[in-house]
Amino acid sequence: MDFLVSAALTHEGTVKAVNEDRVVAKAPVFLVADGVSGCRRGALASELVAERFNQLADRADLTPELVAEAVEAAHACLCGSRAEGDRAATTLAAAVAVSVGGQPYWTMVNSGDSRIYRVSGGSHRMDLVTEDHTHVQAMLALGLLTPELAARHPDRHVLSQAVGSPDQFDPDYWLLPIVAGDRLLLCSDGLLGETDLEEIERIVVGQNTPEDAVVELLSLALAAGARDNVSAVIVDVDGADWRREIS
């Protein structure tokens, strides 16, 4: 799918010695996985998920079902390692371009608190597609917390599920049409931790290339302190190539 133009960066940040994030930007597959802190092998978990999705990128027959199978296979593998004494889990935010009825669609999947944002062609607004799987987000949805209190809650990064989590695993899926001129941002929570969302939006909706956008996003996060690993993937749907490929 030549109409998908992308760039990705991942960085350990300014505090952590190890980068447990992994990114994939290999059209038609795009992914951010953030190894769960506190697990002995968070980096292994994110690496395993990234490898599964890299294998998807080599296939010409991608369907939403194949994406779901890759997610479930990665989860089963990580749960198996837990049975052998290893604790390994990771967040997952992925967007995979598939063909449905001869038309291009995004199959998006999320487990944990890595995110996918979408900028519709010509828009100056960055819309959040995914919903964080955290205990604080669940309280917010139930009306038990205000957005202001949720943003400052000390447990706001405690996950309610992740790939490899033994307690709960129920990832969210979306099937969205691929629209010429759209831009996606996939990111780990390390990008969002200390940075202002309005500044992130300014960069993402700007008239810049994916390469320039991810470099600017990383610079923004590092300047803000970046106490966590930082990862970002930008994907553009090129209008001219999109029309040629589907015609």
State which residues form the domain around 100.
4-246
Query: pTM of the full predicted structure?
Result: 0.91
pLDDT digits (tens, 9 = 90+) for 18-76: 999 999 999 999 999 999 875 557 899 999 999 999 999 988 889 999 999 999 999 99
DSSP strand pairing (103-111 vs 115-119): unpaired
Q: What is the number of domains present in the chain?
A: 1
Contacts of 182 (CB under 8 A, 6+ apart): 118, 119, 120, 121, 236, 237
- Look-up of token digits 């890759």: 70
- Residue 31 maps to which CATH number? 3.60.40.10
At 157 the pLDDT is 73
